[in-house]
Amino acid sequence: MTQSASTATGGRFNWFSGVFTPSILTVLGVVMYLRLGWATGQAGLGMMLIIVLITHLITGATALSVSSIATNRTVGTGGAYFMISRSLGPSVGSAVGIPLFLAQALSVTFYVVGFAEAAHQLLPDVPAVMIGTITNIVVLGLAYWNASLAIKAQYFVMAAIGLSLLSFFSGTTADFPASIEWFNSDGESFIAIFAVFFPAATGIMAGVSLSGDLQNPRKDIPKGIMLVVVTSLVVYIAFPIWLSLNFTNDQLINNLDAVFIGASIPAFIYLGVFGATLSSAIGSVLSAPRTLQALASDGHVPRFFARGHGRDNEPRMGTMLTFALAQAGVFAGSLDAIAPVLTMFFLATYGAINLASGLETWAANPSFRPTFRVPAPVSLAAAVACFYVMSIINLPAMLLAAVVLVGLFAYTQRRALDSAFGDARHGLWSALVLTGLRNVNQSKEHPINWRPNLVVMGGDLGERQHLLEISSALVQSRGLVTFVHLLDGEVVARAEERKALNAQFHAQFAASHPNVFYRAEIVGDIYKGAVTAAQTYGIGDFQANAVMLGWPKTDENINGYMRMLRDLHVLERTILLVRDKPGVSGAVQGGNIHVWWTGATANGSLMLLLAHLVAQHSDWRRSRITVLTAIEHADEVAEASAKIRELLDNARISADIEVVLTAGRPLYQVFAEESGDADLVFLGFLLPTDLRQSSGFYRRMEHITSGLPRTVLVSSARGHDFESVVFDTTGEMKAVPPA
């Protein structure tokens, strides 16, 4: 039976059996018995206690974050992966979940090798690799056939560890050090010691990984994991103190058997070592397959790993893969080589969990209502601490891990897997947008900060594809483009059509033009509706500052059209009218963009800027901008050319210059002859002051543009200083003669 990762799968274990027991037995494991004495000797007691406290600050904050996420909604199979993917999305979940599975599988190696090292001291004639292989097979058998049996076996292990700790703390040595050595200036660096010790604390997540098998994850996880952190902190503070009271730093460094030597009954220490390493290995071999099962259920790894067997949905395929990976590590690894690698993997996972909790809290989604609340700064600070510790331990390894994580994230994004679960991403972006809008609303806008926030009155996309192309090229990622489709009619009659159009084109635009938003709106009058849409679009001071429309094919409704343009002008909106030519693609590699300059007015400045923006778009790369101006007298050519060159230098815009003599030709003929072969033309225009001149204005502009290719007619927003957007200074620019 295959079970979704979004649903709890078991209910066999409570907080003690499913969270506390596997976690504390993993924490009090191989590092405590076989490496803590060495670490204390290298660091000195004072430095060792600092390392213990820093480690538990990180794991404690992570436990708080885990508890917060777990008490918000039921945690299904997959533990840490489930939490991250349901908070930060499937792409982040897979990017962290796959390395987490590998880390958990490698943890089996770590504990099996630790067991083999200890057993090899008693059986020196038996190769450590053989001992490790046999141990790995035994661990596999327990996990493969019955997880419940493996958990029950850990109760005996817990008793063995209890006896070993009793033996350890009740023992002593014959010769005590003259004084406690708080710091060892000749020892290994803080970073090296921390990297060896930190894996001791990674076991706090062992029980969380069994989340799908818990009776009540919301209650069991916080209770079990917080008790693990407190218990491990007490033990790991007491342990180095006892060692420093009985051994010198040199003795601890040179004698890895110090724990055995100082115990009242050394045989109990062996029981503890064997039990702790075996139970830790069992905990990891139970955790890793369940993480893989959750990844497979969500489609990030082959689906056959999601198959469960038996009443308890045991992930046997994942268990076999975990065994294979662990066995490869047994053949190749040693404790000291594996420990830093585990540290990196688990720190990345802990950082992601803390980030998920902090961002969920900060975003303040109404759906995020954990009963165990943790302030966002606590979780976010813990996330930063995790990534910082990664960098100081091994920066190249951290960068390599980052490359792997980003690669997995990008791969998942490209696959565009649909998730059947909600996550916090939309809430996070909403929170960022709200924060930005508040800041924008509280700050005063300066003209030089102008960027296009464009509303395109596009209508039927089949007839207005050119508006989508040119608006997308103009704005790119510098502002917003919203393609508005106005539906003429009654709301009751066209509401369903509006809903269907919004759904259809939202998905279509997301795929083809991700920088363009789509909105279908119902209006009683198209022209009045366009004005209403333009002036109501936005929030507070963040609003549309430019409107793009198509040029009418006839003057049948020219009066309504011109009233609309007049109202938009009065509302201080820049107006861009696009007259298209059938068969013109509008996206030309290496094409020509012509700007007709008629003086340093706001229209001219804005046209220069718009031409520059279009030329930056990938569809127009290698395009050549030409600034043209028409004059009547030949003796003005040199002066006009010099002035335009000065203007372009001041504007920091690369363009060619062409000064055209009219030679008695009418302006429409000059335009047609000089720009007829261009790919895009920008022309400025002024609206008539009297709407009774609407028909005359239409005929005049039709005449002027009749011989031109795709043309953008530009009327800058009144009152906006576009010259300050384009130029450093504008005082002498007005000397360019107008046409």
Inform me whether the pLDDT recorded for 528 exceeds 60: yes
More confident site: 203 or 51: 51
Give residue 396's identity as a one-letter amino acid code. Answer: P
> Residue 639 has which token pair?
């002066």
pLDDT tens for each residue of 118-169: 787 778 888 888 888 888 888 777 776 666 666 677 788 888 888 988 988 8
pLDDT tens for each residue of 310-321: 676 778 788 888
**What is d(CA 595, CA 623) in angstroms, rounded to the nearest whole number?**
13
CB count within 10 Å of CB 255 equals 15
**What is d(CA 51, CA 615) in angstroms, rounded to the nearest whole number?**
56
Question: Which residue in 41, 34, 27, 36 sits closest to 114, CA to CA?
Answer: 34
Find out whether 608 and 696 touch, Cβ atoms under 8 Å: no
Does domain 447-735 bear CATH number 3.40.50.12370?
A: yes
Helix axes 190-197, 45-70, angle to 10 degrees: 50
pLDDT > 90 fraction of the chain, expressed in percent and rounded: 5
CA angle at residue 131 from 130 to 133, to 5 degrees?
A: 65
pLDDT tens for each residue of 319-370: 888 888 888 878 866 656 666 666 777 788 888 888 878 877 776 666 667 7
Q: What is the DSSP string of 277-341?
A: HHHHHHHHHHHHHHHHHHHHHTTSS-GGGGB-BTTTTB-HHHHHHHHHHHHHHHHH--HHHHHHH
Domain boundaries, the chain: 15-373, 447-735
Confidence of residue 236 (pLDDT cuts 50, 70, 90): very high
Burial class (CB within 10 angstroms; exposed 0-12, middle 13-18, buried 19+) of 592: middle
pLDDT > 70 fraction of the chain, expressed in percent and rounded: 82
List CB contacts of 677: < 8 A, sequence separation 6 or more: 592, 709
Predicted local confidence at residue 50, as pLDDT? 93
pLDDT tens for each residue of 98-121: 878 887 888 788 778 877 877 877
CATH of 15-373, one of 3.50.50.60, 3.40.50.720, 1.10.390.10, 1.20.1740.10: 1.20.1740.10
Q: What is the DSSP letter of 733?
A: G
Question: Which residue in 246, 247, 278 sits closest to 131, CA to CA?
Answer: 278
Give residue 76's identity as a one-letter amino acid code. Answer: G
Find out whether 626 and 658 touch, Cβ atoms under 8 Å: yes
549-574: average pLDDT: 87
449-460: average pLDDT: 76
> Residue 374 has which token pair?
């943790």
Find out whether 68 and 404 touch, Cβ atoms under 8 Å: no
Predicted local confidence at residue 363, as pLDDT? 67
Inform me whether the pLDDT recorded for 736 exceeds 50: no
**What is d(CA 200, CA 558) in angstroms, rounded to the nearest whole number?**
78
Predicted local confidence at residue 730, as pLDDT? 44
409-436: average pLDDT: 58
The CA dihedral of 657, 662, 667, 671, to the nearest 10 degrees, is: -40
E strands, 459-505, in order = 480-488
Mean pLDDT value across the chain? 78
Predicted local confidence at residue 731, as pLDDT? 42
Confidence of residue 734 (pLDDT cuts 50, 70, 90): very low
Q: Where are the alpha helices (DSSP H) in 368-464?
A: 376-393, 395-415, 425-442
CB count within 10 Å of CB 716 equals 25
Inform me whether the pLDDT recorded for 538 exceeds 80: no
**Does the reported pTM lie above 0.75?**
no
List CB contacts of 477: < 8 A, sequence separation 6 or more: 515
List CB contacts of 245: < 8 A, sequence separation 6 or more: 176, 177, 180
Question: Which residue in 566, 580, 611 sits closest to 715, CA to CA?
Answer: 566
More confident site: 666 or 87: 666
Q: What is the DSSP string of 511-573?
A: HH-TTEEEEEEEESSHHHHHHHHHHHSEETTEE--EEEEEPPSSSTTHHHHHHHHHHHHHTT-
Predicted local confidence at residue 52, as pLDDT? 93
- β-pairing verdict for 574-579 and 711-715: antiparallel
Out of 255-259, 436-440, 463-467, 735-739, which region has the weakest mean confidence (pLDDT)? Answer: 735-739
- β-pairing verdict for 480-488 and 516-523: parallel
User: Among all chains, which residue has been given the structure tokens 């489709």?
Assistant: 485
The CA dihedral of 727, 732, 733, 735, to the nearest 10 degrees, is: 180
